Amino acid sequence: MEAVSPNAFYDSDNRADPPKCHENTRVAVINKIMDWVKTSSIIRDTDAFMLWLYGPAGAGKTAIARRVAELCEAQGLLLASFLFFRSDPKRNTIKPLVANIAYCIARVIPGTHELIKFAIEADPLIFTYSVEVQLKKLVLEPLQLLADQCYFFSVKFPRLVVIDGLDECLDKGAQTNLIQLLASAVAQTQLPFKFLIVSRPEAHLKLAITRASKQTMFSYLELNNDFLPDEDIRCFLTDKFREIKMCHPFRSGIPFSWPSEHQMDHLIHKASGQFIYASLVVRFVNSACDSPTRQLDIILGIRLPINHHDLPFAELDALYTFILSCTKNVDIVLQILGVHNVLQPRETTVGTITSVLYLEDGDLHIYLSPLNSLLEISERGNGRDGIFFHHTSFTDFLDNPTRSNDYCIDAPKCHSLIAKWFLRALTGNGMHPQSSVHSASFG
């Protein structure tokens, strides 16, 4: 089927090193999801048919989704999977989604192949229609016919559909529309299936899921510190550094005590729960072209790379750049982040930043909402008032022009903004709220 995107299946990926869970890591969150998958789907009043797994960028959501799909496949519970990926033109769009799901259904549920084939032959242009029409004709109607024949009560059947990286679909409208369509399908049919939706906690997705939860029962699972990611990252790094010391071509020059406990603690702190950070560290240090100890020194900032085009966090930087590129008011966003970083972050309140930039109340939340997967805004008081970054490495990115390019914070200009604010406070000279924002734009 030409409409299918083969690389979108959980076990098919054109990346050389697709994300996957390291052994004995992410166990608690995977077990929690598997318990939900295996919960009976017959009691519709008490069972959530959609689970939203969300977490910060780089937290390892795709690796978890793959592992869940793998376990469900082995246990006969996986119906279909689709993994979005922003840089793949066949995976950064909603167009092939229904074709992929229909293909999987035809392959794993006896009796659906002919029904789906008939629907396609009856209308060869079906894949040019809306997602709603495709879903109805190629998925819901064939399955409903089997349900009307009590098929799902007489045989064991796969029930889980995994949709990972929904935020990596380039069309935000398509993202929210899909959530609504799936919620409507679950609410209007008696089909006993479950959907695992995995994404970053983007504002428009939160809103769409809140609305959809009024039609069908949703469960929410946040990938946060409750699942002790630092311990999993320590396990991962310990095992990988052990492999490097045993197998690397230049292993003879590696000291027995390398890396030191201090170096390991530093890496875990920098990771801030980001498995993508830890995996990039290992990939860079394990390069066969240089000494692992020298590569780790580059990571730790002890020495500069010989080739500035061969930087260790290119993939992570691409992720940060992509997220920042989705902001509508990037100049103001960089001002906010710059003022936050120049001032003492632990003492910088939302009110202070708002006053420095002469913003209106609530503007901080509006301007920074596209960065929900990278930071949190809190106004709780008790020392929890301000902007809090999910990832320490994001600050490093913003401060390094080699990494962030156009998104680099201009510290001198931020100092100037703060000085002007302080002078205004001393003289009592007021300005129109918007005039400061526009005049202070980064050039």
SS3 per-residue string spanning 28-78:
HHHHHHHHHHHCCCCCCCCCCCEEEEECCCCCCHHHHHHHHHHHHHHCCCE
Per-residue pLDDT averaged across 232-254, rounded?
A: 95
List Cα–Cα distances, 93 to 26, 100, 206, 394, in angstroms: 29, 12, 20, 27
Residue 210 DSSP class: H
Domain of residue 283 covers 229-312
Position with higher pLDDT, 432 vs 85: 85
What is the CATH number for 102?
3.40.50.300
Give the range among 112-121, 129-138, 333-342, 373-382 with minimum mean pLDDT: 373-382
If one counts the domains in the chain, the total is: 3
Q: What is the percent of the chain with per-residue pLDDT over 70, rounded to a whole number?
A: 89
Tell me the pTM: 0.83
Is residue 239 assigned to a domain?
Answer: yes
212 and 282 part of one domain: no
Is residue 18 assigned to a domain?
Answer: yes
Structure confidence by residue, pLDDT tens digits, 159-189: 899 999 999 999 999 999 999 999 888 888 8
Is residue 53 assigned to a domain?
Answer: yes
Position with higher pLDDT, 87 vs 181: 181
325 and 307 part of one domain: no
Rounded to 10 degrees, the C-alpha dihedral 336/342/345/349 comes to -50
Structure confidence by residue, pLDDT tens digits, 1-43: 688 999 999 988 776 667 889 999 999 999 999 999 988 644 4
- Last residue of one domain, picked from the residues 297, 312, 327: 312
pLDDT of residue 286: 92
Element containing residue 194 per DSSP (H, E): strand 194-199
164 and 291 part of one domain: no
- Tell me the helices (H) and strands (E) count for the chain, helix number first: 21, 7
pLDDT of residue 433: 40
pLDDT of residue 40: 61
User: Residues 29, 34, 39, CA angle at the centre, nearest 5°?
Assistant: 130
- Last residue of one domain, picked from the residues 195, 227, 259: 227
- Cα–Cα distance measured from residue 264 to residue 233, given in angstroms and rounded to the nearest whole number: 10
Give the range among 192-196, 208-212, 218-222, 341-345 with minimum mean pLDDT: 341-345
Instruction: Give residue 73's pLDDT band: very low, low, confident or very high (50, 70, 90).
Output: very high
267 and 369 part of one domain: no
Structure confidence by residue, pLDDT tens digits, 303-330: 766 655 566 788 888 889 988 988 888 9
Position with higher pLDDT, 225 vs 133: 133
Instruction: Give residue 54's pLDDT band: very low, low, confident or very high (50, 70, 90).
Output: very high
379 and 278 part of one domain: no
pLDDT of residue 384: 58
Examine the pLDDT at 113 and tell me if it is beyond 80.
yes
What angle separates helix 392-399 from helix 314-325, to the nearest 10 degrees?
80
Per-residue pLDDT averaged across 116-126, rounded?
A: 94
Position with higher pLDDT, 430 vs 277: 277
- Long-range interactions of 11-16: CB distance < 8 A, separation 24+: 11/66, 11/69, 11/70, 11/73, 13/83, 14/88, 15/85
Is residue 1 assigned to a domain?
Answer: no
Position with higher pLDDT, 306 vs 230: 230
Examine the pLDDT at 429 and tell me if it is beyond 70.
no
pLDDT of residue 159: 86
Structure confidence by residue, pLDDT tens digits, 356-411: 898 998 899 899 988 988 888 876 555 557 888 888 888 889 998 988 999 999 98
pLDDT of residue 46: 47
198 and 233 part of one domain: no
Compute the chain's Rg from CA coordinates: 25
- Last residue of one domain, picked from the residues 268, 290, 312: 312
Task: Kindly list the strands in the beta sheet with 194-199, ordered across the sheet, starting from the edge strand earlier in the chain.
Answer: 78-83, 160-164, 194-199, 50-54, 218-222
423 and 275 part of one domain: no
155 and 262 part of one domain: no
335 and 371 part of one domain: yes
Residue 53 bridge partners (DSSP): 198, 221
Q: What is the percent of the chain with per-residue pLDDT over 90, rounded to a whole number?
A: 52
- How confident is the prediction for the chain on average, in pLDDT? 86
413 and 345 part of one domain: yes
Structure confidence by residue, pLDDT tens digits, 246-266: 999 999 999 999 999 999 999
Position with higher pLDDT, 432 vs 67: 67
Position with higher pLDDT, 136 vs 402: 136
